[in-house]
Structure 1
Amino acid sequence: MENQPEIIQKALGFAEQGKEIALEWLTSPAAWSQFGLLVVAFIAALLLTRRASPIISKWLTPPEEQTHFIARSRRFLLQFLPLLMPLLAYVFTGIGEGIVRSIFETGAVIAFGKRVFMFLAVRILVKDILNDGFLKLLGRYVALPLAAVYAVGLMEPLIAYLNSLKFTLGNITISLMALIRGAVAGGILFWLGRWSNDQSASYLKSQDQMRPATRELAIKASEIAIFGVAFLLLMNIMGINLSTLAVLGGAIGVGLGFGLQKIASNFISGIILLLEGQATVGDYVELDGGEAGTIVKMTSRATILETFDGRWIVVPNEDFITTRVVNYSDAGSANRYEAPFSVSYDTDINKLPEIIETAVGKLDFVLQEPDGPDCELRGFGDSGIDFAVEFWVEGIDDGQNKFTPKVLFAIWNALKENNIEIPYPHRVVEFKGTPPQATS
């Protein structure tokens, strides 16, 4: 033993202690009574789980058509149902431990069994419940090993050892245990934060009585609040005094001032857009640079436009503040368009406006308010007389609705029904001298 490496000597020492503990348990009446209580606790938890699981599952399963917050919360809780059996066994074992300690003044065996049930709960959580890739990785390589160490009763020595490993970053001193605790707690907190943010965003988007800009602003505010609280809780769990982050905050401020000007500008521009509501989700806009489309999403950095052919254009929020923006659909307002056409010089143009306005006015999408169809004479062209009919619609002629082509079809049919000729180019050719003769 003396010639072996230190780590092997410690391992052999732990093995010897384990052997002594096992022999003591096998020859002790108190140990056998604790084994019996463990079996009873396990059987009681198993029977109760079989009786209670269908009832709990039925209560937590909402109808498929329900999508509100309470229904989503019930579905979220339902996925933790496999933890019922090990947690019940843990609780029953804890009760049995209290009874044994009051009688025999010892409870090492039943305490070990209780820790094993907790290990089983963590294993089920990591293997069957967690779907998020980061959380699954965290559970596999952090939570499960820690649960195994806790099960064999070495958690306190391990915590003491990890707390002794410290390093300093500026005026912040942090231990390895704090980092591990922060990684585990941070993963859980930000997973819950992301889930809470998704639920709150879904709830706010369903509030149709709120203006779109107000909804987007509320979504951004709730996101900042949720993750801000998660960050503060994480700092508290890791044991970091927030006052020590003053230097780090100053460094971040300098970085924003020099290297992240555009990001900061776009972030502030996004907040201004949401507060003013001049352009919001659902509006059809056109920028000075030629970008045009329907706003489908507004993020903290950019606004997403979708063109009528399905392409997405990412426009920095700053462009909406510093350049001219044409909003065709602010608050769902009506828009005016015109459809040009020409008729022959043989046409009685005094009758034409009434014919065209009547035909266009029959289209179901053409509005009579603020003004009905208006046919106007625009000029005298080389081949015909130029007209245009102006009309109002509720929407955008963006390629999806195609209002103008339908109006042109109506004009064509109206002209044909009234035997009005649509001109085509005519050219008169004059020859000076003898015209050319055709040769055979």
Structure 2
Amino acid sequence: MFEFSNDMPPFVQTVLGYAEQGIELAKSWLLSPAAWSQFAVLIVAYLAARFIARRFVPRIDTIVRPAKDAEGMITEARLFIVQFLPLALPLLAYVLTGIGEEITRSIFGSGAVIAFGKRVFLLLAARALVKDIIKDPFLKLLGRYVLMPAMVLYALGLLDPAIAKLTATEVGIGNIRFSVMSLVRGAIAGALLFWFGRWSTGQSRSYLARQEELRPATRELAMKTAELFIFGAAFLLLMNIMGINLSTLAVLGGAIGVGIGFGLQQIASNFISGIILLLEGQATVGDYVELDGGEAGTIVKMTARAAILETWDGKWIVVPNEHFITTRVINYSDSGAAKRYEAPFSVSYDTDINRVPDIIEAAVAKLDFVLAEPDGPDCELRGFGDSGVDFAVEFWVNGIDDGRNKFTPQVLFAVWNALRDNGIEIPYPHRVVEIKGTLPTS
């Protein structure tokens, strides 16, 4: 039918060859009584599947779909089942077509037409899966550009030749050779495995975060262990799928070891320090810490390399894990909920200082955030300054006096009001200037 020229590229000749085969196949189908019978079976199978789906799928949806306010694992399982109901029509058509194919082959001895229709129904099921069911952006992208082209080739009967061609084509890296098919299979499997690893890691972290009976450090260590285990298993499974012998990675492992020994010392040190922190529980997520350099904040995240502190003004500070091991770190959250602070102030030298402690302690004790245990407010004389008598009132509170909980300013307000109500003056700086000799005359 097509005239081939030697000047044509091989790809064009291949395409024209497939086109000629398709035309001959279409002619044989149109002129064959067996083919018309198979077309009729396809139509009957589709109509029967449509009738069954319309009649029973809404009932199944009503039975399986949970109430709007229902919660729990059973509810999630029922919602998971309900989302696959759009596949009912094409899959029912596929099953009924398969039954019709067996009958047709037993009568006519052939079933090419009905087999093609069955593959088309499976293609429609894949399309419904990608379009209506998959919600994750990554999986939808994978379904659109990997699953759908593969299903189109499968429906046209070209999937096996394409796989054979990709398997026969090899690429090499040094002494290691791969078929293109193994690379494609590895890329798809790797994408799916690491997506599943990320999803399962999120699920495990969510589950462990709800276990309030565990210490925060224990929970964080369990999360890190689960993450390493999941991605390690995904990596080993990927190597097995790609057909890579793990013994070939020994040289790469040795190179990585040398790299850690020379260029990655700090990364390895921070990683090991992070494990020590999680094991010992010296600092974990939620703790308010102050570093040796003066930085202070709440630990909001701990990674394999560093901890992230959030200051009271919303800034994030990335602190390498090694600093928590090798330098002095004050952990305000680890020693208990109650913390003691002090508010300094001064009074005039004209004041009867014997009255000051009782006045201040009574005023500070009225504040609702000041604790009576382990000790109530304590006003102490600290010294005699240049301009006044220096005092300080010590008080205990639940929590930390940071940017979110300014306890000390409220205490100083109470001190000011108490001194003013009792007629006690807070001094301002005084200086005595002595002039020697006579004053100059104008």
TM-score (norm 1): 0.90
Aligned to 2:399: 395
Residue deviations 1:263-289, cap 9 Å, x none?
A: 222222211111111101111111122
2:366 equivalent among 362, 365, 373 = 362
Give the percent of matched residue pairs that are identical in Structure 1 and Structure 2. Answer: 70
Structure 1 unaligned residues grouped into runs of 5+? none
Is 1:105 paired with 2:106? no
- How many Å separate the matches in 2 of 1:53 and 1:314? 54
Partner of 1:177: 181
How far apart are residue 58 of structure 1 and its match? 7.0
Letter in 2 for 1:31: A
Aligned-partner residue type, residue 178 of structure 1: S
Q: Which amino acid aligns with 1:3?
A: S
Shift of 1:295: 0.5
| Structure 1 counterpart SS, 2:330 | strand
Range moving further from structure 2, 377-386 or 36-45: 36-45
Q: Distance in 2 between matches of 1:58 and 1:188?
A: 32
Between stretches 396-405 and 84-93, larger displacement belongs to: 84-93
Residue identity matched to 1:52:
V
Change (3 A) 1:427 1:249: closer
Instruction: Spell out the pairing of 1:282-297 with structure 2 (5 A cutoff).
Output: 282-297=286-301
1:139-154 alignment runs, 5 A limit: 139-154=143-158
Partner of 1:63: 68
- Relative distance call for 1:349 and 1:54 in structure 2 (3 A) is farther
| Distance of aligned partners of 1:289 and 1:430 in 2 relative to their CA distance in 1, 3 Å threshold | closer
Structure 2 distance, partners of 1:40, 1:405, is: 83
Question: What's the secondary structure of 1:225's corresponding residue?
Answer: helix
Q: Shift of residue 229 of structure 1? A: 2.1
Is the Cα contact below 8 Å between 2:57 and 2:85 reproduced in 1? no
Structure 1 12/435 Cα, relative in aligned 2: closer, same or farther at 3 Å?
closer
Name the counterpart of 1:330: 334
Query: Which residue among 310, 313, 316 is the counterpart of 2:317?
Result: 313
Distance 1:291 1:432, change over 3 A: closer
The answer to whether 1:86 aligns with 2:90 is yes
Q: Does 1:201 find its partner at 2:201?
A: no
1:70 CA drift (Å)? 5.6
Q: Which amino acid aligns with 2:152?
A: A
CA distance in 2, matches of 1:315, 1:70: 42
> Which has the larger displacement, 244-253 or 80-89?
80-89
User: Within 2, Cα distance between the matches of 1:60 and 1:256?
Assistant: 54
Code of the aligned partner of 2:163: I
Work out whether residues 57 and 78 of structure 1, in 8 Å CA contact, stay in contact via their aligned partners in 2: no
Deviation at 1:305, TM superposition (A): 0.6
C-alpha change, 1:45 and 1:329, in structure 2 (3 Å) is same
- 1:402-413 map, 5 Å: 402-413=406-417
Residues 173-199 of structure 1 deviation map (CA, whole Å, 9 limit, x = unaligned): 321111111222222222222222212
**Residues 61, 291 of structure 1: alpha-carbon distance in 2 compared, 3 angstrom cutoff:** farther
Structure 2 residue 57 is the aligned partner of structure 1 residue 52: yes
- Name the residue aligned to 1:3: 5
What's the offset of the Cα at 1:369? 2.0
Q: May I ask how many residue pairs the two structures share in their alignment?
A: 437
1:9-58 Cα shifts (integer Å, max 9, x gaps): 33333223222322222233332332223223323333444441574377
CA contact (8 A) 2:64 2:82 kept: no
Deviates more, 1:406-415 or 1:131-140: 131-140
Q: Match for residue 231 of structure 1?
A: 235
Shift in Å at residue 171 of structure 1?
4.9
Alignment-mate amino acid for residue 17 of structure 2: G
Task: Say what the alpha-carbon RMSD is for the aligned residues.
Answer: 2.6
Deviation (angstroms), 1:136? 4.0
1:62 & 1:262 partners in 2: Cα distance? 54
Residue aligned with 1:278, SS: coil
1:130-141 matched pairs, under 5 angstroms: 130-141=134-145
Q: Shift of the alpha carbon at 1:212? A: 0.9
Counterpart AA for 1:311: K
- Whole-angstrom distance in 2 between the partners of 1:224 and 1:95: 47
Query: Which residue of structure 1 lines up, in the alignment, with residue 352 of structure 2?
Result: 348
Aligned to 1:302: 306
Change (3 A) 1:429 1:262: closer
Q: Distance in 2 between matches of 1:297 and 1:138?
A: 31
Matched, 1:421 2:431: no
Q: 1:256 to 1:30 in 2, by over 3 A?
A: farther
Alignment TM-score, normalising by the size of structure 2: 0.90
Q: Quick check: 1:378–1:388 contact (8 Å CA) kept in 2?
A: yes
C-alpha contact (below 8 Å) 2:380/2:392 kept by paired residues: yes
1:280 equivalenced with 2:300 (yes/no): no
Give 1:303 shift: 0.9
Q: Is the 8 A contact 1:61 1:78 kept in 2?
A: no
* Partner residue of 2:261 out of 257, 262, 265: 257
Task: Indicate how the Cα distance of structure 1 residues 343 and 132 shifts in structure 2: closer, same or farther if over 3 A, else same.
Answer: same
Cα deviation 1:336-377 (Å, max 9, x = unaligned)? 110001112222222221221122122221122222211111
Answer with 265-274 or 54-63: which moved more: 54-63
Quick one: structure 1 residues 98 and 227, their matched pair in 2 at CA, closer, same or farther if it must change by over 3 Å? farther
Higher mean displacement: 301-310 or 82-91: 82-91
- On the 8 A contact 1:171/1:244 being kept in 2, the answer is no
| CA 306–2 in structure 1, closer or farther in 2 if over 3 Å, else same | closer
The question of whether the paired residues in 2 share the 8 Å contact of 1:90 and 1:117 is answered with: yes
The answer for unaligned runs of 5 or more in structure 2 is none
Which amino acid counterpart does residue 22 of structure 1 have in structure 2? Answer: A
1:123 — aligned with what? 127
Aligned partner of residue 366 in structure 1, secondary structure: coil
Deviation at 1:405, TM superposition (A): 0.6
Residue 330 of structure 1 aligns to a residue whose secondary structure is coil
